[in-house]
Amino acid sequence: MRAMTAKWQGLGVFVLGLALVVGAKAREDEEKNPLRAELLKLNQATTKELQNKRFKTLLQDRAKAKAAVAEAAKMTKEAGEKKEKPFNYNALLILSRAAMVVKENDTAEKLTERLVEAATELKSGTKMYEAYLNLVTLYIVTKRYGDAIETCEKVLDIEEPSELADRRGAFLERLIMVKAMSGKVDEAMNMTKSLMAQNRINWPAMKLQGWIEREAGKTDAAIKTYSEVLDKIEADKRLKDDEKNEEKDSVRYVLSGLFVENKDIDKAAKQLETLIKRNPDAATYKNDLGFIWCDNDMKLEESEKLIKEALELDKKAKEKLLAEKKIDEVTENAAYLDSLGWVYFKQKKYKEALEPLKKAAADEDDGNHLEIWDHLGDCHLALGQKKEAIAAWEKALKMEDISKRDGERRRKVSEKLKGAKAKAD
């Protein structure tokens, strides 16, 4: 018995020594590559709150975020060759989302595919839902519609876990939308009408119909459909008053955009005025109303007032989040800054317009938009700064189209750039 005890004591000493060596090696590795050590700590972000916090912290420095994403890809590849997995679901969720934001799409795809694998290995329907949804979103953003369709169809065939199967409606909706985006409008519409026929209270499917009509450029039809949806929501006795108002607000907001596309600014304004009356602390509605008025040379003083109110409301909301430690800093909204610069521009206050427009364009998260850089170019030109205007318009043309209106704006920017270059020569 004493011999056995001595044996196990000897083994204990060996294990302890091995642990000390491994620990020392880990500390040495951390010192050699602190970024890797920081990335591995993401595995410990076990709650949504922690995951969101780590995600936002990672993206505060875009250069560092890109380096982190690249290092994560390298670590994953190296580990794969050894059949190891350096990142669990928590870290993969943060890193795959970060890769999407910094537009490292190949890395984002690899990490998101690994995220799906990790969720499947955990047999968690909730995590599988989140992972597959992220993968579909990535395919849509990168316009890989075939892959998005294939992924949605794959999820629709999954029977277990029940937490995923019970939420397959989200993937059916995306499948229909992606088919419309890829040009299969008739097929998407037939699928939507089939959904409508299956349910007597069918306004959710009607919303999808309106979305398809808008995607197909049938603005009048979309307006008619969404207007009918408003009536159906009002008549839906299943909904509580707050749910009903929330749904109606979302439809009114879509209608405001459709009326703008139809160049019916008064009707668009009416929808936004209703939304502001119902939601006086919602910055978005005030900014949008101020912008569409000033963009169409209407009510410029009132537009300026609304946009400034939007900026102030946005600031107060972010200060509250900062106090609750949900964000790390308060930054001004790029879209609202662009609106402020544009209303100053429309008032011919070009010097006042330049600062907010430059700040909007400098925002790495939300400033990379063709319209913002186009406005900046217009302002530079109005100030006689032709060289800066040309640079801004050249930058604008490097931006991706976000809305259908961007195609027409791109054409106009190209014409302005060509004219400015001709005069500069």
Query: 107, 70 in Cβ contact below 8 A?
Result: yes
387 within a domain of the structure (yes/no): yes
What is the predicted pLDDT for the residue at 176?
97
86 within a domain of the structure (yes/no): no
Query: 332, 315 in Cβ contact below 8 A?
Result: yes
Q: How far apart are CA 79 and CA 151, in angstroms?
A: 26
Q: How far apart are CA 65 and CA 77, in angstroms?
A: 18
Give counts: helices (H), strands (E), the chain: 22, 0
| Residue-by-residue pLDDT tens, the chain, 425 positions | 444 444 444 445 444 554 454 344 444 544 568 899 999 999 999 999 899 989 988 988 888 999 999 999 999 999 888 888 999 999 999 999 999 999 999 999 999 999 999 999 999 999 999 999 999 999 999 999 999 999 999 999 999 999 999 999 999 999 999 999 999 999 999 999 998 888 766 899 999 999 999 999 999 999 999 999 999 999 999 999 999 999 999 999 999 999 999 999 999 999 999 999 999 999 999 999 999 999 999 999 999 999 999 999 999 999 998 898 777 789 999 999 999 999 999 999 999 999 999 999 999 878 989 999 999 999 999 999 999 999 999 999 999 887 778 888 999 999 999 999 988 76
What is the predicted pLDDT for the residue at 384?
96
Identity (one letter) of the amino acid at 63? A
Q: How many CB atoms lie within 10 A of CB 113?
A: 15
390 within a domain of the structure (yes/no): yes
Q: How far apart are CA 424 and CA 386, in angstroms?
A: 7
95 within a domain of the structure (yes/no): no
What is the predicted pLDDT for the residue at 31?
55
223 within a domain of the structure (yes/no): yes
Helix residue ranges per DSSP H, 262-299? 265-278, 283-295
- Give residue 401's region: left, alpha or beta (phi > 0; psi -120 to 50): beta
Q: Of 241, 260, 279, which residue constitutes the final position of a domain?
A: 260
* Beta strand extents in 224-373 (DSSP E only): none
**Nearest Cα to Cα of residue 204 among 170, 241, 180, 162:** 170
| Residue 41 DSSP symbol | G
| DSSP one-letter string for 154-201 | HHHT---SHHHHTTTHHHHHHHHHHHHHTT-HHHHHHHHHHHHHH-SS
Q: How far apart are CA 270 and CA 266, in angstroms?
A: 6
How many residues belong to the chain?
425
Residue 288 backbone phi and psi in degrees, to 5: -65, -40
Cis peptide leading into residue 161 (ω within 30°): yes
Residues 6+ apart with CB under 8 A from 379: 341, 345, 350, 353, 354, 357
Q: How far apart are CA 415 and CA 359, in angstroms?
A: 25
Q: How far apart are CA 309 and CA 28, in angstroms?
A: 53
Query: 356, 341 in Cβ contact below 8 A?
Result: yes
Segments forming the whole domain that contains residue 219: 198-260
Number of domains in the chain: 2
Q: Of 211, 237, 260, which residue constitutes the final position of a domain?
A: 260
Residue with tokens 């299956």: 198
Segment holding 123, helix H or strand E = none
386 within a domain of the structure (yes/no): yes
Buried b (16+ CB within 10 A) or exposed e, 151-185: bbeebeeeeebeebbebbeebbbbbbbbbbbbebb
Q: Of 207, 225, 260, which residue constitutes the final position of a domain?
A: 260
Residue 100 burial class via C-beta count within 10 angstroms: exposed 0-12, middle 13-18, buried 19 and up: buried
What is the predicted pLDDT for the residue at 160?
94
31 within a domain of the structure (yes/no): no
Q: How far apart are CA 197 and CA 31, in angstroms?
A: 63
Q: What is the CA radius of gyration of the chain?
A: 26
Token pair of 117 as six digits: 């694998």
What is the predicted pLDDT for the residue at 90?
97
